[in-house]
Structure 1
Amino acid sequence: MLLDFYLLDVSYEVVSQEPHIIIWGVSRDGKRVLLRDKRFRPYFYAILREKASAEAVARKIISLSERSSPLIKVEPVEKKFYGKPVNALKITTVIPEYVRKYREKVKEIPEVVEVVEADIRFSLRYILDHHLRPCGWHRAEVEARGRNPSYKVEEEYEVKGEINPLEDWSTPELRIMAFDIEVYNETGTPKPERDPVIIIGVLTSNGVFKQFLADGFNDKNAIIEFTRFVQTYDPDIIVGYNSNRFDWQYLLERASVLGLKLDVGRKKDSPPSTSTYGHVSIAGRLNVDLYDFAEEIPEVKIKSLDVVADYLGVMKRESRVLIDYVDFPKYWNDPSKRGLLLKYNEDDVRSTMGLADKFLPFAMQLSYITRLPLDQVGAASVGYRLEWFLMHEALLNNELIPNREEKEAETYKGAVVLTPLKGIHENIAVLDFTSMYPNIMIKYNVGPDTIEKPDGCSIASHYIAPEVGHCFRREPPGFFKNVLSMLLSLRKLLRSEMKKYPPTSMEYRLLDERQKAVKILANATYGYMGWLGARWYCRECAEAVTAWGRTIITAVINRAREMGLKVIYGDTDSLFVENDPVKVRSLVEYVERELGFEIKIDKVYERVFFTEAKKRYAGLLTDGRIDIVGFEAVRGDWTELAKEVQENITSILLKEKNVDKAVEYVKTVIANLMQNKIPVEKLIIWKTLTKKIEEYDVESPHVSAARKLEKKGLKIDVGDKVGFVIVKGAGKISERAEPFNLAKDPRLIDVNYYIEHQVVPAALRILEYFGITENDLRKITSTAGRKSLFDYLGKH
């Protein structure tokens, strides 16, 4: 029989010394189903020396066979490696775990040059080989096997024939559950062996909200009831916020302490486990940590759930309950306050579900495109996401997949960044190349399989990168050229399809999320080649792309100047020029006709202000928004107050053209600080620990704050961001750095420090270009006779 199913996840298990692929899905009639494929076997490849006898090497490999997982086939195959034909053997065994063991033994055979594809996980190997698409529909030839009590599915099938992806963009009605836990602790860092889970909140996609509460400090029943609820509701997707790193880990350890099994999956007696990218895997369900997607929003410095939910319009911070975790005990222990703690948990759960509405559509399309299951695609880096896409394309091109190897970091010259014309400029157009680096790679056939040694290089048969001299074959098209051409064509097709539907339709939204996923993959390809962790790492390729990029943008700058078009600034793949429509149109035509690249007007500034520094400017867009680049407003080691001050100063200067008013605004902020009217949250300084606390020789403020957190029982690791404030008192600044959650009273704050080191320097970064000094910010001046912006700098 033929079965249509929507693919959720693929896993495997070994049954009686036989590997079984387990496919979890949803059928057309909404049943949760399991497909079992007993036919697939693990394999890898050995690349042989040019004149080696494949038959002789095959016999040597067969002699390595072990009874516990015999080598069932060693066969010669015709493959390419970096675009060139190679002599290779495909080596197949039975038990997936034995692949790595055999790999090490095969490596020792003298005729073997390299062993590849031995590090691809068995279940993902199946996805690649069968061209499956997570979060997509498929059709399989199967036989029904009824229900198996070991699995929480409505039907089990055995795969007997082909599985084929379908061109069906619909999504079944999936069951989604958001959850969040609160833990009681009085010392700082909660410890599962001691501290109970006092609240577990859940919210389902059909609107059911429940909370499972500890009985005082006895949380055993709360965890049992939570587990029972998960099994009863039977979600396809479970979402949390920082749940991979905290909620699941804590629940697992706490359940173990209490002698419980956290049996929340669709396979009996199979608790959640941490997998490859640090994500928690739950059998038959997709566990998605939304924090992974919040990490990719550079505009949000503090990644707490309440801040991200506020930024994305899910729930306003001022309209929700906010309680610091160190205060949980006093709310839990006081019956009159416990309701607030319960509301805090509810707000967290509802915010989590709201973020799921924002992030999941994109995540599902990213999963569909890359073929990484939904629970892994968020946890994986952009490089790994792209790599899985490349691995499938390599399979289609009969290319062997290179190993990931340890490499030394190598630097190379980057993009062109012009020194900007200092001052105020009006009516400025920003011209932006469309996918400049991917298009360079396509035009010049750049890739690790097309690069050749300079001694065999000729203009007739090769593209030679300017400045660096790296040489790339003109023909045939390389692996990366083919992949990028396909991605860019697919994005154009998707954007064209979008025009057929109204923006409010489901079809439009799905197409939009898919084209965004495709764009991210295409734009990541250049950076991927220069990433040390990449399988297809090629420093020379990345260096050549930036060299061509510099040549192209320099040519455009020169052309613009020849046309009499004033160039204000240039950075990598964009130019800021005066917005003369006729000349701009002519420049665009030149780029497209003579250089063969696409360039367009990305945005227009009514007014933009440049310092003499590169990558530092602020502008007023035609829609009234303020755009700030390169000042403290977007740097991570300055306070929210510094960011706010710069944004407001910029707004006053660019919208009202009034320098004196900007100065008066700064004085008002200083006055509010001195009167303790500024919330402590706006005064937090965030810094990342780049090494272990004990390895720091100098006691900087964030290290001092981290030590204080450790004394309270919190575990602080390398890579953690430490938030601190500077409080009043004697001694060095570092000695007065307090963790922000331990210093909540504004009256404790050293306001002079914030005036001297945050507000005034942040303000002067902009105002000094208008002749304002530190003294001007301190002295009281009359607001009469205010000067305009152009009285200071003159109109440009």
Structure 2
Amino acid sequence: MTEVVFTVLDSSYEVVGKEPQVIIWGIAENGERVVLIDRSFRPYFYALLAPGADPKQVAQRIRALSRPKSPIIGVEDDKRKYFGRPRRVLRIRTVLPEAVREYRELVKNVDGVEDVLEADIRFAMRYLIDHDLFPFTWYRVEAEPLENKMGFRVDKVYLVKSRPEPLYGEALAPTKLPDLRILAFDIEVYSKQGSPRPERDPVIVIAVKTDDGDEVLFIAEGKDDRKPIREFVEYVKRYDPDIIVGYNNNHFDWPYLLRRARILGIKLDVTRRVGAEPTTSVHGHVSVPGRLNVDLYDYAEEMPEIKIKSLEEVAEYLGVMKKSERVIINWWEIPDYWDDPKKRPLLLQYARDDVRATYGLAEKILPFAIQLSYVTGLPLDQVGAMSVGFRLEWYLIRAAFKMKELVPNRVERPEETYRGAIVLEPLRGVHENIAVLDFSSMYPNIMIKYNVGPDTLVRPGEECGECGCWEAPEVKHRFRRCPPGFFKTVLERLLELRKRVRAEMKKYPPDSPEYRLLDERQKALKVLANASYGYMGWSGARWYCRECAEAVTAWGRHLIRTAINIARKLGLKVIYGDTDSLFVTYDPEKVEKFIKIIEEELGFEIKLEKVYKRVFFTEAKKRYAGLLEDGRIDIVGFEAVRGDWCELAKEVQTKVVEIVLKTSDVNKAVEYVRKIVKELEEGKVPIEKLVIWKTLSKRLEEYTTEAPHVVAAKRMLSAGYRVSPGDKIGYVIVKGGGRISQRAWPYFMVKDPSQIDVTYYVDHQIIPAALRILGYFGITEKKLKASATGQKTLFDFLAKKSK
């Protein structure tokens, strides 16, 4: 017997000799990679008893359902809460996790059973929840060393002999993370016939970068990719990473490699379980047993400020690698670079730049992802692939277990709409010196203050009780003031924990690893707390409550209106308001007084988020652009982000905003647009910037109208390319007669820039993108196309407006 101190990476289970065993993948205090096996845990679920049912009689009926393959080994009478109300339940234990599904259906039909609960919580997660185990947290456990006969690629295997206990209790101080081995990878595929197909197209380069600085390219011999795939497998086993990262690797790199390796007769044996291969899980992520596979694209998807989610765009935005300092090759050009000996070195550099960018993103994103895993209790490879709602739900499931609250089943229900947050009509025009004030965690704090939750909702015919009720404005939904509801309790703990974490941060220098770890932790806590209101209104939620979500938004609207009246009484001009933010003229003294009144009289925290030197609004909500005091530009709602805008149109719009806000010179913006139009007319714009991308949402024969991307896809099909639903079709519009859609051609089939229909791009791409900004200042399409005429500057506009 020995004491093992370890941190949790992941959990899984196997059935060995008709007995389930939980497998905890971890790292020991001395750096050894370990597996801890627990053979004592058994799957279970609950039968919710109907009111008046006799627990003994119902238990007897349930025991009679026992099957030899996985017998029922326990039916225990218990007391739990269900939506806050005390209920009698029977806890039913069996042997094999797979048998729970069968027993669930049988128990449902037993006389005296109202419902069956918690039968859909996966066995390995059930173990983590019941033992209060969280990833990247240190525990000590009594264990017996085992001989590694089971094919684990680890240093030691142990049999668990006691309940794991946290090493640091519930300490807020940052627990030291183990030294994690990290490997980034990226593949390049040779495809001359449209979207790459593993049945046909080889993997010509696999690029790898590791945390010890190693960079390796595994390169095909001609079109034979057996060698790079085999070398990649051996390298992964030799380096033995704890975390493998990629960019869109869940949906491209791993599935492609797995399928390609299978076709070539190669086993992609890169896991810590001998003979096992990566598999796609129910959540859509690729599971690599014993290692944590992280798709960084999942996190990029959650960054609304990054409009184009390509690797190079995200890497530039996050300061990892500038586009101007790296090689960029379009995927359809890869065969040309591979086949040309003079160009191939550039392709190899492109592969290096891709994997360097991927690793650089991992350095930026993993600290937050690890803390999100730590806070939610979800393994790192799952937490990124899950929606925010599911992340919060797992946190709630853990909280429910501790509070002896039963977890509701997930029920399929139609989406229901309800009135949302208040969004004010903006004061159209250009404004200078504008403060943006944000309510801190407004919706969670409303839920706490008014005890909002499905367990405190007073439904028609019910009484408020001795404490009375809170009644939401407008919608009139009522909630009991006491006792504290499930959501109120959970949110108070979340917000209090975040407050304590932020206080703990002050003990460390901002550049210290402890400070950075705690900062990522408080961000993860904030994300969970802010998801709570939206979660209740999500039709897929276990704790779904439309009335709750409706009431929270009603209180939110009331709060914003009250805040607006206070601001106006103080002499602050309100320019705009959106959900939990107000834009007001910036008078430091009045703003400070406003904040004090909100906090002392209304009981909500509001803070000065930022100050714009200059900001302008059109008449549309959620559409503005502002110049911050440090020179950065915020653009909201203006961007041409739809798929039917080409890259050049997006560039033009962004540059126009920058010129107008930074120089206050509308003339300069007009001249810039004219310059771009001239370059387009002279054929100086690369065809790549004119490609319009659109996804095929169904099979070609199912389209009743011939949209441009459909016509382009049909032309690809005729040329021998395979196209399928889900493929992104890139096309350009060429000269000629007839409808625009009939002049859409796959971009790679158009080699001569003189074929491009310049008029289409000017009239339908460049000018409209620019006018979304410049139209406000009186600039017309005619003026953008004409020679310079003496338009007024932004300062002229401001001066005229103020008279």
User: Quick check: TM above 0.5?
Assistant: yes
Does structure 1 conserve the Cα–Cα contact (< 8 Å) formed by 2:666 and 2:792?
no
Does structure 1 conserve the Cα–Cα contact (< 8 Å) formed by 2:426 and 2:618?
yes
Aligned to 1:666: 673
Match of 1:643 among 636, 641, 650: 650
1:228 aligns with 2:234: yes
Aligned to 2:65: 64
Does structure 1 conserve the Cα–Cα contact (< 8 Å) formed by 2:464 and 2:480?
no
Does structure 1 conserve the Cα–Cα contact (< 8 Å) formed by 2:430 and 2:798?
no
For 1:786 and 1:218, locate their aligned partners in 2 and report how far apart those are by CA, in whole Å: 62
For 2:697 and 2:800, locate their aligned partners in 1 and report how far apart those are by CA, in whole Å: 42
Aligned to 2:551: 544
1:698 aligns with 2:705: yes
**1:235–1:528: structure 2 CA closer, same or farther, 3 Å change rule?**
same
Once structures 1 and 2 are overlaid, which stretch shifts more, 423-432 or 216-225?
A: 216-225
Aligned to 2:683: 676
1:203 aligns with 2:209: yes
Once structures 1 and 2 are overlaid, which stretch shifts more, 458-467 or 395-404?
A: 458-467
Once structures 1 and 2 are overlaid, which stretch shifts more, 167-176 or 329-338?
A: 329-338
Aligned to 1:519: 526
Aligned to 1:408: 414
Aligned to 2:603: 596
Once structures 1 and 2 are overlaid, which stretch shifts more, 764-773 or 86-95?
A: 764-773
1:213 aligns with 2:219: yes
Aligned to 1:328: 334
**1:227–1:656: structure 2 CA closer, same or farther, 3 Å change rule?**
closer
1:303 aligns with 2:309: yes
For 2:494 and 2:251, locate their aligned partners in 1 and report how far apart those are by CA, in whole Å: 34
TM superposition shift of 1:131: 0.9
For 1:308 and 1:161, locate their aligned partners in 2 and report how far apart those are by CA, in whole Å: 46
For 1:345 and 1:543, locate their aligned partners in 2 and report how far apart those are by CA, in whole Å: 50
Q: How does 1:716-735 map to 2 (within 5 A)?
A: 716-718=724-726, 722-735=729-742
**1:580–1:336: structure 2 CA closer, same or farther, 3 Å change rule?**
closer
Aligned to 1:448: 454
Q: How does 1:13-32 map to 2 (within 5 A)?
A: 13-32=14-33
For 1:708 and 1:741, locate their aligned partners in 2 and report how far apart those are by CA, in whole Å: 11
For 1:442 and 1:786, locate their aligned partners in 2 and report how far apart those are by CA, in whole Å: 50
For 1:36 and 1:115, locate their aligned partners in 2 and report how far apart those are by CA, in whole Å: 29
Match of 1:427 among 427, 433, 456: 433
Match of 1:437 among 437, 443, 450: 443
Aligned to 1:466: 473
Aligned to 2:40: 39
Q: How does 1:761-780 map to 2 (within 5 A)?
A: 761-780=768-787
Report SS of the residue matched to 1:603. strand
Does structure 1 conserve the Cα–Cα contact (< 8 Å) formed by 2:666 and 2:791?
no
Aligned to 1:122: 123
Report SS of the residue matched to 1:335. coil
1:502 aligns with 2:503: no
Report SS of the residue matched to 1:26. strand
TM superposition shift of 1:633: 4.6
For 1:367 and 1:333, locate their aligned partners in 2 and report how far apart those are by CA, in whole Å: 44
For 1:358 and 1:704, locate their aligned partners in 2 and report how far apart those are by CA, in whole Å: 41
AA partner of residue 260 (structure 1):
I
Once structures 1 and 2 are overlaid, which stretch shifts more, 183-192 or 26-35?
A: 183-192
Task: List per-residue Cα deviations over 1:702-757 (Å, max 9, x = no partner).
Answer: 34345455665455435x65544333333322223344455575444322112111
AA partner of residue 367 (structure 1):
S
Report SS of the residue matched to 1:328. helix
Task: List per-residue Cα deviations over 1:573-630 (Å, max 9, x = no partner).
Answer: 1111111223222221221111111111111112221222222222222112222222
For 1:205 and 1:538, locate their aligned partners in 2 and report how far apart those are by CA, in whole Å: 46
Match of 1:378 among 380, 384, 396: 384
Task: List per-residue Cα deviations over 1:519-564 (Å, max 9, x = no partner).
Answer: 1111111111111111111111100000000111111112222333
1:478 aligns with 2:485: yes
Report SS of the residue matched to 1:449. coil
Report SS of the residue matched to 1:336. coil
For 1:778 and 1:63, locate their aligned partners in 2 and report how far apart those are by CA, in whole Å: 84
List runs of 5+ in structure 2 lacking aligned partners.
169-173
For 2:715 and 2:799, locate their aligned partners in 1 and report how far apart those are by CA, in whole Å: 48
Once structures 1 and 2 are overlaid, which stretch shifts more, 556-565 or 381-390?
A: 556-565
Q: How does 1:778-789 map to 2 (within 5 A)?
A: 778-782=785-789, 788-789=795-796
Match of 1:655 among 630, 652, 662: 662
Does structure 1 conserve the Cα–Cα contact (< 8 Å) formed by 2:464 and 2:479?
no
Aligned to 2:246: 240
For 1:592 and 1:685, locate their aligned partners in 2 and report how far apart those are by CA, in whole Å: 50
1:251 aligns with 2:257: yes
For 1:56 and 1:81, locate their aligned partners in 2 and report how far apart those are by CA, in whole Å: 22
Does structure 2 conserve the Cα–Cα contact (< 8 Å) formed by 1:632 and 1:642?
no
For 2:77 and 2:334, locate their aligned partners in 1 and report how far apart those are by CA, in whole Å: 65
For 2:403 and 2:687, locate their aligned partners in 1 and report how far apart those are by CA, in whole Å: 57
TM superposition shift of 1:39: 0.4
**1:725–1:164: structure 2 CA closer, same or farther, 3 Å change rule?**
farther
Aligned to 1:491: 498
Aligned to 1:53: 54
AA partner of residue 124 (structure 1):
M
Match of 2:184 among 178, 184, 200: 178
For 2:543 and 2:729, locate their aligned partners in 1 and report how far apart those are by CA, in whole Å: 36
For 1:722 and 1:428, locate their aligned partners in 2 and report how far apart those are by CA, in whole Å: 43
Does structure 2 conserve the Cα–Cα contact (< 8 Å) formed by 1:424 and 1:795?
no
Match of 2:350 among 319, 322, 344: 344
**1:593–1:709: structure 2 CA closer, same or farther, 3 Å change rule?**
farther
Aligned to 2:171: none
Does structure 2 conserve the Cα–Cα contact (< 8 Å) formed by 1:47 and 1:89?
yes
Does structure 1 conserve the Cα–Cα contact (< 8 Å) formed by 2:182 and 2:244?
yes
Report SS of the residue matched to 1:162. coil
For 1:783 and 1:238, locate their aligned partners in 2 and report how far apart those are by CA, in whole Å: 58
For 1:582 and 1:309, locate their aligned partners in 2 and report how far apart those are by CA, in whole Å: 40
TM-score computed with the length of structure 1 as normaliser? 0.95
**1:688–1:465: structure 2 CA closer, same or farther, 3 Å change rule?**
farther
For 1:754 and 1:45, locate their aligned partners in 2 and report how far apart those are by CA, in whole Å: 63
TM superposition shift of 1:154: 1.0
TM superposition shift of 1:102: 1.0
TM superposition shift of 1:382: 1.0
**1:707–1:357: structure 2 CA closer, same or farther, 3 Å change rule?**
farther
TM superposition shift of 1:137: 1.5
Q: How many residues align?
A: 795
Report SS of the residue matched to 1:632. coil
Report SS of the residue matched to 2:87. strand
For 2:798 and 2:185, locate their aligned partners in 1 and report how far apart those are by CA, in whole Å: 57
1:737 aligns with 2:744: yes
Aligned to 2:584: 577
For 2:617 and 2:25, locate their aligned partners in 1 and report how far apart those are by CA, in whole Å: 55
Report SS of the residue matched to 1:384. helix
For 1:785 and 1:393, locate their aligned partners in 2 and report how far apart those are by CA, in whole Å: 61
1:158 aligns with 2:165: no
Once structures 1 and 2 are overlaid, which stretch shifts more, 705-714 or 124-133?
A: 705-714
AA partner of residue 537 (structure 2):
G
TM superposition shift of 1:80: 0.8
